[in-house]
Amino acid sequence: MESAIIRDVRVSAAHEGIAELVVSIEYENGGTTEVALDQMATSALMDSCNASSIEDVKGQSWDKVRDALQVSYNRYQ
């Protein structure tokens, strides 16, 4: 197993009902955490995983979530 993988993904309502993607990450030791992605980060994650649905990102490395968050953050730079 890699250091951490995407275990689960779901769509959730964020501020004012705007959709966001909530990604559950599982670590080697069994611990989990959830990360909420905005539309920009979600799009970057889907692209990097070559995913046509959110189910396609399951099992991918957590690095792709980190990179997607950087894409979203850097749009303000």
Tokens of 2: 């890699």
- Taking 50 as the pLDDT cut, the residues of the chain under it are 1
pLDDT attached to residue 16: 79
pLDDT attached to residue 2: 57
pTM of the model: 0.88
pLDDT attached to residue 1: 45
List CB contacts of 30: < 8 A, sequence separation 6 or more: none
Query: Is 45 in a helix, a strand, or coil?
Result: helix
List CB contacts of 13: < 8 A, sequence separation 6 or more: 19, 20
